[in-house]
Structure 1
């Protein structure tokens, strides 16, 4: 259980770096000179990229924290089925 913090940090650190890069991309892409000339119904792709990455970070964090407990529950259920 004491290695859980190290595992979670090792999993979350690269994702945080990826989110920082994506945030910089979103910030820089909104400054383009032709931004006003775009079609008014054009989607905000960088915004959706950020939402997707943030969702992935939440799922990874939950799995990192709850993974051992879920694995224990699964093993316990398989042992009951096997008996």
Structure 2
């Protein structure tokens, strides 16, 4: 009976150690997320610099299409 309890205890500790190792490895890759964020910001700034006027025109046209023409008063 004692040997059975020892084996059960060892199996439980091994399972807990595997769960703890899996938790540590699932925390995420912080430098990877930082890189993705910086690259996304760079793309937005680049598009804004290249096509800012065109994007503003498209946005204003879309808004005027929804709200109607300006009030002529």
Q: Give the TM-score of the pair, scaled to structure 2.
A: 0.45
Bigger RCO (CA 8 Å, 6+ sep): 1
The structure having more radius of gyration, on CA atoms, is 2
Q: Give the TM-score of the pair, scaled to structure 1.
A: 0.41
In proportion to residue count, which structure has more helix?
2
